[in-house]
Amino acid sequence: MDRRVSFLLLFVLAIGLMGVERPPWHPRRRPHPRPNRLAMQRVRLAEWPDEPPSPEAVDPARFAEALRQICGWMPPGRATRYTGFILESAAEFEVDPFLLAALVYREGRCRSDAEEGERGSGLGLTLIDSRMYWDNVRHGTLRYHVHEDGRWVERTRQVDRFPFNGPRLSQPDSNVYFAAALLAMWREQAPSLREAFEQEPYRHFVSHFVWGDRVRSHRQEDRILTERRRLLEYYGAHSGMAPIAWGGVELGCPLGGCPRVISSYLGSEREDGARHHRGVDLESLPGEPVHAVADGLVVFAGVDLPGHQSHRQVRAASEYEEIGRQNLGAGGRYVCVRHRRPGDLPNLRSCYMHLSEVHVAYGDTVERGQIIGTVGRTGMERSAAHLHLELHTDHLEDPSEILYGLLLGDRDSDPMP
């Protein structure tokens, strides 16, 4: 028997065994991204708390400011225009505007000219892969199927405001419009897709926006939902997670949108065992604000120098640029804050390393949640940007234990225990 025929019969049999007849469309799949098996092990789905709700009514001015905050570079006029596109399209297709804005940031980094790298073909603010939807969007109509009463039923939505093609998807208004329509489609299809296709476990239908019919990793949705939480915090609709009381100190999250995921733990080997990791690394993006975890006094703001040179306090912001980034030690630019504890308990000191920008100076008093710098990769040679966090008393403390809940992760997933 022809191998292709055999494969088709096996596929049909497999679908039948799952109790759902074969879907009446060609399986949709984006060629990019690829699942990162190591990253998939970092956090378990059961660890995530429920996602905070979005407000029923959204103030455009506040939303625009939240969008501008998360994008970092966006001028006010553009933030206002993008807000109009997002709120209008979200209302038309009844999707969460904060989720739509999270896609704008996480997928396209707020750039309308964004393009997916490697072999991907995603375009525009939300990196829509038009090839994946050729069978769905035709002549101003979005067509898709859901499984009901033992059969596949076609549903349609009108999407004729813009043509669905590459040039239009590079325009912010049409990209956001189609992203909202496709989110609505995936939301409605998700229960049927769970039955018809083998899936990696996931929490939210936005995973299908990233992967297509078959979700291959939950980590992309983790990151998109983190950005949604950050947007809700910037907007003022969510106060963030409650601080943790530890040893007489109220400790908050060092990054917005908590809980955040740990990518490397205290004690992990570095430089082939020549040294060991003295803190935890937190997944984060370049330019993200870094927050003081508690009220305290800045006792160091400066740079780590290589070799046996002492660490150097930096008194003026201009001095940072005078010290070439290529000349920095492993910690790069960093800040340490002393937090007083009651009685005879030794003080707690928190340190934040690899910063791109430092916003405080030695001797400054800071409050919990105050921005002290931004995420970067100073002092690193190969790793992607992330925040390195250390906690000290009279010895090294483990942030993954002290801040558990605000920080999530599975220590067994660390590649260098």
User: What does the pLDDT look like over 241-269, one tens digit per residue?
Assistant: 999 999 999 999 999 999 999 988 865 54
Q: What is the pLDDT along the chain (417 residues), one digit of tens a residue?
A: 444 444 444 444 444 444 568 899 999 998 877 888 888 888 999 999 999 999 999 999 999 999 999 999 889 999 999 999 999 999 999 999 999 999 999 999 999 999 886 556 799 999 999 999 999 999 999 999 999 999 999 999 999 999 999 899 999 999 999 999 999 999 999 999 999 999 999 999 999 999 999 999 999 999 999 999 999 999 999 999 999 999 999 999 999 999 999 988 865 545 554 455 579 999 999 999 999 999 999 999 999 998 766 789 998 888 998 888 888 988 999 999 999 999 999 999 999 999 999 999 999 999 999 999 999 999 988 889 999 999 999 999 999 999 999 999 877 666 554
Q: Can you state the percent helix, strand and coil of the chain, rounding each to 5?
A: 30, 20, 45
Q: Which residues contact 32 (CB under 8 A, 6 or more apart)?
A: 116, 117, 118, 119, 120, 122
Cβ atoms of residues 299 and 336 within 8 Å:
yes
Alpha helices in 134-249 (DSSP H): 166-169, 172-196, 206-211, 219-235
Report the pLDDT value the prediction gives residue 382, as an integer from 0 to 100: 82
Q: What is the pTM of this model?
A: 0.91
pLDDT in tens, 339-383: 999 999 999 999 999 999 999 999 999 999 999 999 999 998 888
Instruction: At 2, list the tokens.
Output: 């022809």
338 burial via Cβ count (<10 Å: 0-12, 13-18, 19+): middle
Cβ atoms of residues 207 and 368 within 8 Å:
no
| Cα dihedral 37/38/44/50 (nearest 10) | -90
SS3 of residue 264 by DSSP: strand
Q: What is the distance between the alpha carbons of residues 255 and 241, in angstroms, rounded to a whole number?
A: 11
Of 206, 124, 132, the residue nearest 162 (C-alpha):
124
Strand partners, 249: 246
Number of C-beta neighbours around residue 396 at 10 A: 14
Number of C-beta neighbours around residue 118 at 10 A: 8
176 burial via Cβ count (<10 Å: 0-12, 13-18, 19+): buried
SS3 of residue 177 by DSSP: helix
Residue ranges, CATH 2.70.70.10, the chain: 244-413
How many residues comprise the chain? 417
Report the pLDDT value the prediction gives residue 220, as an integer from 0 to 100: 95
Cβ atoms of residues 267 and 247 within 8 Å:
no
Q: What is the distance between the alpha carbons of residues 111 and 177, in angstroms, rounded to a whole number?
A: 15
Residue 104 belongs to what H/E stretch? helix 97-106
Of 133, 181, 156, the residue nearest 27 (C-alpha):
133
CA distances in angstroms from 334 to 156, 190, 311, 359, listed in the order given: 54, 44, 10, 10
| Cα dihedral 404/410/412/414 (nearest 10) | -90
Report the pLDDT value the prediction gives residue 16, as an integer from 0 to 100: 44
Handedness of CA 290, 408, 186, 122 (dihedral sign): positive
CATH of 244-413, one of 2.60.40.1260, 3.30.70.20, 3.40.630.30, 2.70.70.10: 2.70.70.10
Instruction: At 284, list the tokens.
Output: 């984060």
| DSSP structure class, residue 122 | -
As a whole-number percent, the residues of the chain with pLDDT over 90 amount to 76
Cβ atoms of residues 289 and 371 within 8 Å:
yes
